[in-house]
Structure 1
Amino acid sequence: MVLPWRRRRDKTVSAVELTIPTYFRCPISLELMKDPVTLSTGITYDRDSIEKWTGTGNNKSHGVERIPTPRIPISPPEVIDICAGMVAATRRGDAKKCVELVVKVMILAKESERNKRCIVENGIGSVLADTFEYFTRFAIDIHENLLKEILSTLAWAPQLTQQGISKLKSTNSLHCMALFLKDEDLLTRRNTISVLKELVCADRDYVDRLAQIDGIQEILFQILEVPICPNATQACLVVIHHMMVFQKATGVQIISKFIQMGLIPLILELLVDGNRSVCDKALAVLDRTCSTKEGREIMYENALTIPLLVKKIRHVSDAATDLSISIMYKLFSGEDGSYNGVIEAVKLGAFQKLLVVLQVGCGRRTKEKITQLFKMMNMCRDKIDCFESYVGSKYLKAPN
Structure 2
Amino acid sequence: MLSSWRRRRANRRAKNSSNNNTSENNNMELAIPNHFRCPISLDMMRDPVTLSSGITYDRESIETWIEAGNRTCPITNQVLRSLDPIPNHTIRRMIQDWCVENRSYGVERIPTPRIPISTIEVTEMIEKISAARRRQDLEGCQELVRKVKELSKESERNWRCFTANGIASALSATFQAFAEESPSSSSSSSTKNVAVLEEALSCLPSFMPFDEAAKSYLGSSSSLRCMVWFLKHGILSARRNAILVLKGLVSSDQEGLKTLLDIEGNVEALVKLIKEPICPVATKASLVVIFHMISTTPSNETLISSFGEMGLVSLLLEMLVDSDRSACEKALGVFDEMCSCSAGREKAYEHALTVPVVVKKLLRISDSATEISVSILWKLCKNEKREEDGNALVEALQGGAFQKLLLLLQVGSSERTKEKATELLKMLNLKRGNLECIESIDFKNLKRSF
Task: Tell me the TM-score normalised to structure 1 length.
Answer: 0.75
Percent identity, aligned pairs only, is 46
Contact 1:178–1:216 (CA<8 Å) still a contact in 2? Answer: yes
Partner SS, residue 156 of structure 1: helix
Q: 1:306 aligns with which of 344, 355, 368?
A: 355
Which consecutive residues of structure 1, in runs of 5 or more, have no partner in the other structure?
1-31, 44-65, 392-400
Deviation at 1:202, TM superposition (A): 1.5
Aligned to 1:200: 250
Q: C-alpha offsets along residues 190-227 of structure 1, whole Å, 9 cap, x if unaligned?
A: 00011011111121122221122222211211111111
Query: How has the CA–CA distance of structure 1 residues 386 and 295 changed in structure 2, closer, same or farther, with 3 Å as cutoff?
Result: closer
Aligned to 1:173: 223
Partner SS, residue 213 of structure 2: helix
Amino acid at match of 1:371: T
Deviation at 1:308, TM superposition (A): 1.6
Partner SS, residue 251 of structure 2: helix
Aligned to 1:25: none
Q: Distance in 2 between matches of 1:35 and 1:304?
A: 70
Q: Which moved more, 1:67-76 or 1:266-275?
A: 67-76
Q: 1:331 aligns with which of 373, 380, 397?
A: 380
Query: How has the CA–CA distance of structure 1 residues 148 and 67 changed in structure 2, closer, same or farther, with 3 Å as cutoff?
Result: farther
Q: Distance in 2 between matches of 1:243 and 1:388?
A: 37
Q: Distance in 2 between matches of 1:67 and 1:103?
A: 29
Q: 1:349 aligns with which of 375, 400, 415?
A: 400
Q: Distance in 1 between matches of 2:153 and 2:373?
A: 40
Deviation at 1:158, TM superposition (A): 2.1
Deviation at 1:268, TM superposition (A): 0.5
Aligned to 2:241: 191
Please tell me whether Structure 1 or Structure 2 has the larger radius of gyration of its CA atoms: 2
Q: Which moved more, 1:165-174 or 1:114-123?
A: 114-123
Q: 2:285 aligns with which of 232, 235, 242?
A: 235
Deviation at 1:75, TM superposition (A): 4.0
Query: How has the CA–CA distance of structure 1 residues 295 and 388 changed in structure 2, closer, same or farther, with 3 Å as cutoff?
Result: closer
Query: How has the CA–CA distance of structure 1 residues 390 and 110 changed in structure 2, closer, same or farther, with 3 Å as cutoff?
Result: closer
- What's the Cα RMSD here? 3.0
Amino acid at match of 2:329: D
Q: 2:161 aligns with which of 118, 127, 130?
A: 118
Contact 1:358–1:367 (CA<8 Å) still a contact in 2? Answer: yes
Aligned to 1:7: none
Aligned to 2:322: 273
Amino acid at match of 1:232: A
Q: 2:301 aligns with which of 241, 245, 252?
A: 252
Q: Does 1:359 align with 2:410?
A: yes
Q: C-alpha offsets along residues 50-82 of structure 1, whole Å, 9 cap, x if unaligned?
A: xxxxxxxxxxxxxxxx99654233344443332
Amino acid at match of 1:340: N
Amino acid at match of 2:414: G
Q: Does 1:216 align with 2:259?
A: no
Deviation at 1:133, TM superposition (A): 1.1
Q: Distance in 2 between matches of 1:182 and 1:389?
A: 44
Q: Distance in 2 between matches of 1:192 and 1:163?
A: 18
Q: Distance in 2 between matches of 1:355 and 1:266?
A: 30
Contact 2:202–2:241 (CA<8 Å) still a contact in 1? Answer: yes
Amino acid at match of 2:129: M
Aligned to 1:62: none
Amino acid at match of 2:394: I
Q: Distance in 1 between matches of 2:119 and 2:92?
A: 22
Amino acid at match of 2:430: M
Deviation at 1:386, TM superposition (A): 7.4
Q: C-alpha offsets along residues 94-144 of structure 1, whole Å, 9 cap, x if unaligned?
A: 333322221122112222334333323331111111111112234532322
Partner SS, residue 232 of structure 2: coil
Q: Distance in 2 between matches of 1:35 and 1:178?
A: 53
Q: Does 1:288 align with 2:331?
A: no
